Structure 1
Amino acid sequence: MVNYLATPGDSWQLVLRQGILHYSYTATGEPMAGLSASTAVIDPDGRLHILATLLNKRLIYARWEGHRWESRELPANGSVLAFVLDSRRQPHLLLEESCRPENVHLYLAGNRWQRQFLPFNLTAPPLLFKPLLRGRLFFAGQDASRGRQHLFLTIFDPATGWQVPRPLTGVEPGNKIYAYWFQGYLYLLSWHRQEKDYLLYFHVVDPEKNTSLRLCPGTMVDLPDDRPVLLAKEKTLLFLWTSSNRLAFCFSQDGGSTWSPPQSAYFFFPARIKAVEGPDGPSTRQVVFTKISGLEPDWPLVINFEPLFSLCRAVLVNPGSRNTPFKQ
């Protein structure tokens, strides 16, 4: 039994299944005006942290305290490159300042914002900026200031600051590249242009040993519409993305050593997807469909890993098949 109850500002969803009542509550707040951009993260206590950019480039940090907003203005203006919470639930952001061509790191220590210049160049948005234990932060980025684009890794420690960036050898950025973190490994997806299509490369990087495994599972006709989503459980990894609103996927069942050929799927066509963000970053257990079968629901559809992986495995086309939608 399912019940939906709603007023103009609040809504409840009640589901009675096998003698257990499941429920969810949604509160609709007042809109915030005068913004040019915003980004948000959530902490383990369920508190929302928002970083809002005003039209004049001023930055406002706001935190939901359960019954009211607590906000403060940041001591710098510019474009936000990345925003995360560390393991101590303190906000960190990387900022391209509007008054000078410099990238800075701002973080809240106690009640004061600390500011320091980054010891590396950034010529593209960060690939990955995520929290580690003991307040540390892991960073993967790109730099093309010396005439050739290269990738690098570094770590921020609150006791010692930023480490000297370490080049990531054996990885070519390609036309599109995305980075992910799962169980201590860095996974990189990159699309490389050919005459009529794109080669898809996977790199599995061990940051501790600075070693990487490079694989090319196949080709795709188009670049992804948006950032692919990583879903995973134990040693099974599933990458989902859309190209021209059509869902595509590629998966591994041995922790990333081998991959299925990438292919487009006919189900849920057309579709758009997004990652579900949680306290530890993007969830590897769920994905959000913001568009499905031509519909754009007010509240996107959340689907778990298991049914999606079962469906992808069931419709996987044999590379030798004459009707395969991909090239090998």
Structure 2
Amino acid sequence: MCKIYKINPKNLTTNEIEDLYLINKYMVKKYNLLDRFKNIDSYKDLFLSAFIETDNEIFILEKNSLICGILNCTKSADWSGKEQYRLSILLCDLTIDEPILKSINKLIEDKLNQHGELALVTYNNELEEVIGKYTNKVNLRGNYYTLKKEDIHIGILNKSIKEYEAKNNDLTIKYTNIISDEYIKQYCDLFMETMEDMPDVKEDGYVKYIITPDKQRQINDSNKKRNISHHCYMIFNSSNEMIAKSNVSVNNNDPGFPYQFMIGVKKSYRGRNLGKWLYASMYKRLFETVDFEQAFVCHHPENKPAINISNWVGYKFNYLETIHVLYK
């Protein structure tokens, strides 16, 4: 027998919380996810607390009285700022049989009827059979990669930095930990320009991310309040035009998992190893200044140039995450 039921974390016993924590550990191993919760207290405080007295809901999938999945439905905003309900599904069972599929499908139907639209998050192409029953569009498709600090080869990075500086002596590389007014317009313009030709835009449900100087200033303020550092390397030509950039976000309160995002090079400057120059400079700095465990990055599976650069510095593939938007 298979069933899905909602739980209230506030009413769980210590043993029940421990069981959920161990199930989470199992799923982290199965999907090769980031292991963000090092103990039961962090799991309770950083994850379960999000489902107490909020619109967020957490569900247990149980088969023959054994927990075999955890599902959560949260209210969040997409890149355009539009609020959406997002249902994330993590399963313990390596064999996803008909009773499990039937139970999951029933919850999806209920949430879709309730909200009219639902963003469904799945991993490694699981549940394609269920998704195919609904009118849907792929919103985002991303391969996640991680880089352990001990896998960084500083000697290779130092050698590469010298090599790329010599080969590109008409260019200048600069570092900043905030996108200041001196750089903000060029940064936003380059961000939008390089995003236009990313493979992500080919997905039929893709929502365009728009960054403006005003929005970046708001991000700067938010980062300051939350003690987040925005590490950014930028490359300029002889006319002081920004032609490449790479970004890493570090939560200084919990620096274990820096997030690499939006490396971009102007089309006319591609083929000069500027991406490797940016990465070499960035990860040398992170290695020397940040006490992190694993950095992570997300690339569309077809973004081969970005994937190749990440692999070059030492990133390894973890899992594929796909967000399907289902419509009633």
TM-score (norm 1): 0.25
The answer to which structure, 1 or 2, has the higher relative contact order (CA under 8 A, 6+ apart) is 2
